[in-house]
Amino acid sequence: MQPLRGIFLREGALTVGIAPECGGALTRFDMRVGDSLIDVLRPALDQSIRGVCALGSSCFPLVPYGGRLREGRFRFGGNEYRYPLNAAPERHSSHGDGWTRPWDLLHLNRRTAIMRLSADDSAPLQYVCTQSISVDSERVRIVLSSRNVSAQPIPMGLGLHPYFANRAQAALTVALPDHWQWDHELMPVAKQTNPLAEALARGRNVAGLPIAAEYAGWDGRALIEWRASGLRVDLVTTPRLRHVVMWLPEGESFFCLEPISHATDALNEYSGSAAAEDFVILGPGETMSQCFDFNVSTH
């Protein structure tokens, strides 16, 4: 992997970096408050790292699905589809293929960038995805739009994988009424009432939450606050997404709150749910779009 290139969008106190060649990823998202630069997302690793470079980024898109896909396989419309196993040593595929391929930069000015992921003839699903990133003085907006370029209907899911900074100082207020019980491979087994629902609805510290967890029944909005610095991020999804995966790996200072349109492995039947539940079925030439607003303020 080559070092991430320096392409930045700026408006007011906000700066966002992008790396089209690195899975359409973000490389920074921070806010200047007085003489201090406060990270909203962790800065990307700017040195060569092993593996796919998006894993060292600040955020990357999830397309055409997020989370694990059992053995990289699913059936749809009478056909079997197979994705490469891209998360060795796991025996499952993760997060689709948008994050593993370079995107083209279609448009760039001081405040806006548009990237495009072209269809890959060798990929299981044939689609084109555009990612629009815009920055104003109080908001970063990311819009993903995917279009089916094949001759048959395909299932489409969209999401984001942001790495929020400074876990130790962060608090989260969010409505997550349902919790997925996972098996030993982090695949959904049963949906339960979330034992942390009341605490999260009131707002609680991120530190101490489970290392990895998946939630459902979300209302599509989350408030993240770093109270020591006064920084607040109100994350809003439009249309409202229903699913969230959280990841807080030991020994790291970041945390992931991943908004996604569907449950883990939902391209397959799981826990009594039909295959492709919560996916949008796109006919030939049809498009779906998903907006993610990061509304930033200080107090």
Going from N- to C-terminal start, the domains of the chain cover 7-298
pLDDT for residue 46: 64
In the predicted model, residues of the chain with pLDDT beneath 70 are 1-5, 46-52, 271
Report the C-alpha gap between 231 and 243 in whole angstroms.
25
What DSSP element (H or E) covers 235? strand 231-238
Question: What global pTM score does this model have?
Answer: 0.95
Nearest to 14 by CA among 112, 115, 151, 94: 112
Angle at 254 between CA 231 and CA 3, to 5 degrees: 105
What ranges in 165-238 are assigned the alpha helix state H? 197-202
Report the C-alpha gap between 201 and 221 in whole angstroms.
11
pLDDT for residue 52: 61
What class has domain 7-298? mainly beta
Contact 164, 257 (CB under 8 A): yes
Contact 144, 63 (CB under 8 A): yes
Contact 245, 213 (CB under 8 A): yes
Structure tokens at 269: 């039947």
Which 3 state secondary structure label does DSSP give 278?
coil
pLDDT for residue 47: 52
Report the C-alpha gap between 130 and 119 in whole angstroms.
11
Report the C-alpha gap between 258 and 66 in whole angstroms.
9
pLDDT for residue 104: 97
pLDDT for residue 48: 40
Nearest to 94 by CA among 258, 218, 291: 258
Structure tokens at 202: 């009131």
Convert the pLDDT of each residue in 143-170 to its tens digit. 999 999 999 999 999 999 999 999 999 9
Contact 290, 142 (CB under 8 A): no
Phi, psi of 36 (to 5 degrees): -105, 145
